[in-house]
Amino acid sequence: MAALFESLGEGSGTARRVIPVDPSDLGLATGAPGASKQRPYAAVLGCSDARVPIELIFNEGPNDLFVVRVAGNGLGAEVLGSLKYAVDHLAGSMKLIVVLGHSGCGALSAAVDIFLKPEAYLSLAEEHSLRNILDRLLLVVHAA
């Protein structure tokens, strides 16, 4: 466990160091790190799946995207509130909202499994946080 925390610390330390190379020479997006105001041109709703790194997929840097991530892209209160904040308070720069889905989504697969075998839902009786996510996704699965 300590090694994992150390690895995260090293990664964030690297991000804080000044690199004496122009990032554009490396094909990296530069964005505006440390900007005093948020100025994203798009909001992106994406899955929290670690295999779907939104900024890397779109080759964008800091302050380019307002990213909201949740398992299965479900539209819960926190997600809707975050997107509403972006629309209301970042309107000067933000011109686009994108919903980014992906294949092999575990959350949507679980919702489909529960739809096909409702008895599987009973195993989540004490898992309020997971049920909360799956309940939103079940609405979409049922409508499909």
pLDDT digits (tens, 9 = 90+) for 62-121: 899 999 999 999 988 999 999 999 999 999 999 999 999 999 999 999 999 999 999 988
Residue 29 pLDDT > 90: no
What pLDDT, on a 0 to 100 scale, did the predictor assign at position 124?
84
Comparing 6-10, 41-45, 53-57, 125-129, which segment has the lowest mean pLDDT?
A: 6-10
Half-sphere exposure of residue 82: CA atoms within 13 angstroms, side-chain side = 19
Average per-residue pLDDT in the chain?
Answer: 84
What pLDDT, on a 0 to 100 scale, did the predictor assign at position 20?
58
H or E segment to which residue 131 belongs: helix 128-143
Q: Kindly report the pTM of this predicted structure.
A: 0.74
The DSSP bridge partners found for residue 109 are none
What pLDDT, on a 0 to 100 scale, did the predictor assign at position 30?
59
Helix axes 106-116, 128-143, angle to 10 degrees: 70
Residue 51 pLDDT > 80: yes
Mean pLDDT (whole number) for 25-35:
60
Alpha-carbon gap, residue 39 to 14, rounded angstroms: 24
Instruction: Give the alpha-carbon dihedral of 86, 87, 90, 94, to 10 degrees.
Output: 100
Q: Where are the beta strands (DSSP E) in the chain?
A: 42-46, 65-69, 96-100
What pLDDT, on a 0 to 100 scale, did the predictor assign at position 114?
94
Given pLDDT bands bounded at 50, 70 and 90, which one contains residue 126?
confident
Residue 28 pLDDT > 80: no
What pLDDT, on a 0 to 100 scale, did the predictor assign at position 144?
86
What pLDDT, on a 0 to 100 scale, did the predictor assign at position 25?
62
Q: How far is CA 58 from CA 24, 28, 52, 67, 113, in A?
A: 15, 11, 11, 12, 31
Residues of the chain with pLDDT > 90, as a percent, come to 61
Tell how far CA 131 is from the center of its chain.
Answer: 19
Residues 115, 139 contacting (CB under 8 angstroms): no
